[in-house]
Structures are given as structure tokens and as C-alpha cells.
């Protein structure tokens, strides 16, 4: 599988990444899925301390410990929860980030994280303090690179201007093309985008029409528009899964498309789609059939 540089970090990520949130909590079952992902050439694994309140990191640590040198491990931080009440509060402070990384390292059974990401962000945050924390963690050898997971243009722009982030994780698919207004400016400063939600809750897979029939629309598409759009896309390419992946990967700013899987068969389906040919003309046609919305909020 092709690997791309993640920003200016020197880290190379597989074009298909694995979203670990979908892993089962049974370690044996999770291990079979991860082993299949690695066998298929996937090296980028993304989790977060918030997923199942740390349990997902523990599972990831258990199943990846023997593959640590082969993979790029990414996790996220910034959501602090109360173990007694379950309440979650946003905490991007330097003291919290520098404390919480040790908890994640323990759960992940590793002594460093390849990509440490801020799991959100608000315009009112003290960005300089957050950046200082990440930079110190780099100097201490606890992380190799850092990034943010955000779809807020004002937050993204602050980090692009003030930091050396390697990556931005954004929801991006043929049915959610809002990131496109930012892709060129992100790439111009040497930062990469890692995508999530590229299969749009399974709408952009072989089960798309079936799933659409059970949904009352998706984002700005109402139920009828969604069904019509999927049918039109199928007329462009009979493999929606392949069309969805390649339409996103065609932009140079995209380093990896992170896709979840709860079974080895789902990974094989994604790899099959990735290896299916999609022409530039088909991608262009697909984009004429879908909306290029922009972010309406968090712009200033």
C-alpha cells in the first residue's frame, strides 16, 4: 500500500488508516482484526483516550504491542472525564496534557506516541499554552509529532499560524465536502489532513442504498436527495466504496483515510475498494453530483 508523508514530521502513513474506535472489547477478536489490517499493509492506527473512557486505548495497546515498530500510533487528548460521574469537560491546558500522556502511554503499552492529537478545540482556548505542551512533549521524546482533530476553521487557522502541527483530522467524504475550502491552504504550509467519516456511516459502501432507506437524510441532504445522489453516484461507478475512497485520496493534502472495521471481512472490503480502479473523470463526475457546502459556524 502506498504511504504518504504526514506533514513535515518524516512519518509515513498508509493511505488507508485504521480507526480503532470500532474494535470489539474482546482482545482475541480485536487482535484478529488488527492482524488482518497489518497484513493488508495498513500501518496507521488511530484511537483516543476518550473512546470508552480509556478502554479502547487498553485494547489497542494489547493487540499492537508486538507490532509497535511496524506501525504509526496516533491517539487524542483534551477531554477530561470524572470516573465517578462520567461527566466530560474540555481541558486543553498544558498541565493536563502533560499529565494525561503518561496515562495513555501506560494503556497503550508504549513509551512514545507517534501522533498526539488535540481532540477538538475552541477559539477561546489558550492555543499558545497547548502548543507549548506539545512542543515540550516532542523534546522529551514522548511524542514524534502532534496534530488536532477539528472541523472548526477558526481553530484550524490558529494552529496553522502558530504551530508546527503535522496533521489535521477532519470529517471528509463525497457527502461532506466542507473541508475542501481549506485543503489548499493547509497543504501550502506543509500540514497534512487525515480524514474520518469518509464512508459516511456506510452510505458510501455497497450497503449505501439500504442504509439510506433507514435514515431521514444525511447532513444537508434530505432522505429523497440522499437516495437520488447515491443512485447517481452508482451510475458513475458501480463500487461506491471505491469511488468514496479515491475521491478523497486524490487531493495531495490527504495523507490517510481512516476507516473503522469491526471484522476482518470489513477490512478486506475496504482494501478491495482501495485496489479498485477509479478514473479522474469518474471522480470529477462524482463531484458534480454532490454538494460542496462550506462550514457555516466557527469562522471568526
Q: What are phi and psi for residue 144, nearest 5 degrees?
A: -95, -35
Is residue 298 situated within a structural domain? no
Q: What is the pLDDT of residue 80?
A: 87
**Distance in angstroms (rounded) separating the CA atoms of residues 23 and 4:** 25
Please work out, in degrees rounded to the nearest 5, the angle formed at the alpha carbon of residue 165 by the alpha carbons of 162 and 169. 120
Is residue 236 situated within a structural domain? no
Is residue 127 situated within a structural domain? yes
Q: What is the pLDDT of residue 241?
A: 98
Number of domains observed in the structure of the chain:
1
Is residue 209 situated within a structural domain? no
Q: What is the pLDDT of residue 30?
A: 96
Is residue 148 situated within a structural domain? yes
Is residue 289 situated within a structural domain? no
Burial 233-260 (b: 16+ CB within 10 A, else e): beebbebbbbbbbbbbbebebbbbbbbb
**Distance in angstroms (rounded) separating the CA atoms of residues 186 and 229:** 29
What CATH number should be reported for the domain holding residue 56? 3.20.20.100
The catalytic position among 51, 146, 218, 274 is 51
* 116 is annotated as an active-site residue: no
Secondary-structure breakdown of the chain: helix, strand, coil percentages, each rounded to the nearest 5 = 45, 20, 35
pTM: 0.95
Is residue 78 situated within a structural domain? yes
Q: How many CB atoms lie within 10 A of CB 199?
A: 24
In order along its 300 residues, the chain shows pLDDT tens digits of 999 999 999 999 999 999 999 999 999 999 999 999 999 999 999 999 988 888 999 999 999 999 999 999 999 999 888 888 888 899 999 999 999 999 999 999 999 999 999 999 999 999 999 999 999 999 999 999 999 999 999 999 999 999 999 999 999 999 999 999 999 999 999 999 999 999 999 999 999 999 999 999 999 999 999 999 999 999 999 999 999 999 999 999 999 999 999 999 999 999 999 999 999 999 999 999 999 999 998 987
Q: What is the pLDDT of residue 82?
A: 84
Is residue 96 situated within a structural domain? yes
The interaxial angle of helices 127-139 and 94-108, nearest 10 deg, is 40
The domain of 140 spans 10-199+249-262
Amino acid at each position: 500500500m502506498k504511504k504518504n508523508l504526514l506533514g513535515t514530521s518524516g512519518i509515513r502513513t498508509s493511505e488507508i488508516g485504521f480507526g480503532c474506535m470500532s474494535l470489539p472489547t474482546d482482545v482475541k477478536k480485536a487482535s484478529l482484526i488488527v492482524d488482518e489490517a497489518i497484513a493488508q499493509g495498513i500501518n496507521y492506527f488511530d484511537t483516543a483516550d476518550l473512546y470508552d473512557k480509556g478502554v479502547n486505548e487498553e485494547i489497542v495497546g494489547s493487540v499492537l504491542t508486538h507490532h509497535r515498530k511496524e506501525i504509526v500510533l496516533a491517539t487524542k487528548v483534551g477531554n477530561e472525564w470524572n470516573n465517578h460521574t462520567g461527566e466530560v469537560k474540555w481541558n486543553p491546558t498544558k498541565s493536563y496534557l502533560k499529565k494525561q500522556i503518561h496515562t495513555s502511554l501506560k494503556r497503550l503499552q508504549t513509551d512514545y506516541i507517534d501522533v498526539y492529537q488535540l481532540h477538538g478545540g475552541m477559539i477561546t482556548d489558550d492555543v499558545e499554552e497547548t502548543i507549548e505542551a506539545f512542543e515540550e512533549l516532542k523534546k522529551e521524546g514522548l511524542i514524534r509529532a502532534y496534530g488536532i482533530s477539528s472541523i472548526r476553521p477558526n481553530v484550524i487557522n490558529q494552529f496553522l499560524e502558530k504551530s508546527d502541527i503535522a496533521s489535521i483530522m477532519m470529517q471528509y467524504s463525497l457527502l461532506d465536502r466542507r473541508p475542501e475550502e481549506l485543503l489548499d491552504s493547509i497543504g501550502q504550509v506543509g500540514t497534512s489532513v487525515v480524514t474520518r467519516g469518509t464512508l459516511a456511516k456506510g452510505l458510501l459502501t455497497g450497503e449505501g442504498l439500504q442504509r439510506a432507506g433507514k435514515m431521514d437524510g444525511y447532513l444537508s441532504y434530505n432522505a429523497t436527495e440522499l437516495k437520488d445522489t447515491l443512485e447517481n453516484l452508482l451510475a458513475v461507478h458501480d463500487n461506491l466504496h471505491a469511488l468514496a475512497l479515491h475521491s478523497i485520496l486524490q487531493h495531495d493534502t490527504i495523507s490517510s483515510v481512516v476507516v473503522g472495521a469491526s471484522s476482518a471481512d470489513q477490512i478486506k472490503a475496504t482494501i478491495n475498494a482501495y485496489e479498485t480502479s477509479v478514473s479522474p473523470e469518474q471522480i470529477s463526475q462524482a463531484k458534480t453530483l454532490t454538494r460542496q457546502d462550506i462550514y457555516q459556524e466557527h469562522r471568526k
